[in-house]
A = this chain, B = another copy of it.
């Protein structure tokens, strides 16, 4: 069906600038999300399979069918050094689409990690490999290889639109997607923000109140806040 994005592998994708990716890898998801103007975040049901997992890279996108991981094998061939596999599914499925063998293959091809709006398995092995995976579920349930999806088409993954080549940043706080075209701009904004925070942190640590540091007392009073005893 030509109208649909299914059954397609796009080989030539434009990846975000490597320097921007490297710079973004220095900031946390919360900082990057703020730097982008609070857009691009995946739903909070996406969690790391082990605490402390952390991941930044360029997206190779995958559209899966429920209970079917065929396209992850197709995606492996499209990986370049520094890529991250971002897998969405045509409908919600907690099955264990991804595990240790695929991780071994992805890593061998330059893949840095996986973000999948579905289930992952082999948590113990993936933890030992320190291969970062962010998923909606953990499940030992295996999948078939029977129905076509796509690779490197735009996908909606856990509520966020991802184009192939976009930058994906993931840590304990969640997963954020930075469009390739503004990666450097966001990285710079994140840096500014980070520098700013050091200053604020020091003030707050010394006992200064946010009420004063951010000048909130007047707008609060204007909004009608009343102090009572």
Provide the residues of chain B in CB contact with A224, threshold 8 Å. Answer: 7, 148
Provide the residues of chain B in CB contact with A9, threshold 8 Å. Answer: 225-228
Count of chain A residues with Cβ under 8 Å from any Cβ of B? 107
- Determine if A6 and B39 form an interchain contact, defined as CB atoms under 8 angstroms apart: yes
- Decide: A70 near B108, CB < 8 A? Known: A9-B226, A101-B204, A156-B161: no
Q: Say how many copies of this protein the assembly contains.
A: 6
- Determine if A3 and B223 form an interchain contact, defined as CB atoms under 8 angstroms apart: no
C-alpha gap A163/B148 in the complex (Å): 26
Query: Which of chain A's residues 90-138 have a Cβ closer than 8 Å to chain B?
Result: 90-96, 99-102, 104-105, 107-109, 119, 121-125, 127, 137-138
C-alpha gap A147/B68 in the complex (Å): 10
- Determine if A140 and B70 form an interchain contact, defined as CB atoms under 8 angstroms apart: no
Query: Which of chain A's residues 187-229 have a Cβ closer than 8 Å to chain B?
Result: 189, 197, 200-201, 204-211, 214, 216, 219-220, 223-229
Of all chain B residues, the one with the shortest Cβ separation from A88 is B159
C-alpha gap A36/B104 in the complex (Å): 24
- Determine if A229 and B11 form an interchain contact, defined as CB atoms under 8 angstroms apart: yes
- Determine if A228 and B8 form an interchain contact, defined as CB atoms under 8 angstroms apart: yes
C-alpha gap A189/B138 in the complex (Å): 23
A146 at the interface (CB under 8 A from B): yes
- Determine if A101 and B67 form an interchain contact, defined as CB atoms under 8 angstroms apart: no
- Determine if B11 and A227 form an interchain contact, defined as CB atoms under 8 angstroms apart: yes
- Decide: A146 near B144, CB < 8 A? Known: A3-B189, A90-B39, A121-B30: yes
Of all chain B residues, the one with the shortest Cβ separation from A69 is B210
A171 at the interface (CB under 8 A from B): yes
Of all chain B residues, the one with the shortest Cβ separation from A65 is B67
Q: Within the complex, which residue of B47, B101, B121 is in contact with A173, where a contact is CB–CB below 8 Å?
A: B121
- Determine if B225 and A3 form an interchain contact, defined as CB atoms under 8 angstroms apart: no
- Decide: A216 near B28, CB < 8 A? Known: A38-B6, A161-B156, A201-B104: no
Identify 17 residue pairs between A and B in the complex whose beta-carbon atoms are under 8 Å apart, listed by A's number: A3-B35, A3-B36, A3-B182, A6-B37, A7-B223, A7-B226, A28-B125, A30-B122, A44-B119, A76-B209, A76-B211, A93-B93, A96-B173, A124-B173, A140-B173, A148-B220, A156-B160
